[in-house]
Amino acid sequence: MKMQSNNPLLLIKLLALHSLLALSAAQDFDFFYFVQQWPGSYCDTKQGCCYPSTGKPSSDFGIHGLWPNRNDGSYPSNCDSSNPFDASKISDLTSHMQTQWPTLACPSNNGLTFWGHEWDKHGTCSESVLNQHDYFATTLSLKNEINLLQALRTAGIQPNGQKYSLSSIKTAIQQASGYTPWVECNNDLSGNSQLYQIYLCVDSSASGFIECPVFPKGSCGSSIEFPSF
């Protein structure tokens, strides 16, 4: 008995499985961390900082990145080496990014290296929902939705080098945004804990903020400094 060499049903099943696996790989995350950093805390460390070639950034939280993450705390990274950062794709956003997403790395530069790193490491893992231009445009839009510095100042928390309770910082942001933040600290030149980065979570379609399914590891002291810049 001669076996049939072609099985259309089997072929369809294999193609469907391949498509499902490809989709699963492309959407290998559950939510985003939207991370903003306080420039005063970035600079007041042993490594120091360098202002970008466009000049000293404003005294405001700057974007660090929009990072795909999984509910188990792990995250994908460097997902598509065939689609590297291309500055020409965001040329209409560059001036806005220089003010809202400034680099503080040394030596002084125009920010392209920083943005390229964020796209190559994190942005490529969100290609199922955001192309390169949309990744940066969406992140800029998210920053405009919640003014972190204003939220803190409204609560009497000023970037003046004084210490504030961690709980008061979290409460101020939660009351202004409606969502629970995660606060990351670093240490200044004297070893004091200071407010460094604030994390909020965004749904997997990058369409809006959500409560964080999981927070990063690490902790701050109960009282932390908020340095000037």
**Assigned fold of 31-226:** Ribonuclease Rh; Chain A (3.90.730)
Closest CA to 112 of 58, 55, 53, 56: 53
**Mean pLDDT score, 201-206:** 98
Q: Does residue 3 surpass a pLDDT of 80?
A: no
Residue 13 pLDDT class (50, 70, 90 cuts): low
Closest CA to 60 of 216, 201, 203, 198: 198
Catalytic positions are: 64, 118, 122
Asked whether 198 and 63 are in contact (CB, 8 A), the reply is no
Domain positions in the chain are 31-226
Total residue count of the chain as it appears in this document: 229
Q: Does residue 25 surpass a pLDDT of 50?
A: no
Helices and strands (H and E) in the chain: how many:
7, 7
Q: Does residue 10 surpass a pLDDT of 60?
A: no
Residue-wise pLDDT for 144-168, tens only, equals 999 999 999 999 999 999 999 999 9
Give me the pLDDT at residue 218, please: 87
Give me the pLDDT at residue 24, please: 42
Give me the pLDDT at residue 18, please: 46
Give me the pLDDT at residue 46, please: 92
Strand partners, 68: 32
Q: Does residue 8 surpass a pLDDT of 60?
A: no
Give me the pLDDT at residue 195, please: 98
Q: What is the DSSP string of 172-225?
A: HHHHHHSS--EEEEEE-TTS-EEEEEEEEEEETTSSSEE--SS--S----SEEE
**Mean pLDDT score, 68-77:** 97
Q: Does residue 11 surpass a pLDDT of 70?
A: no
Give me the pLDDT at residue 219, please: 84
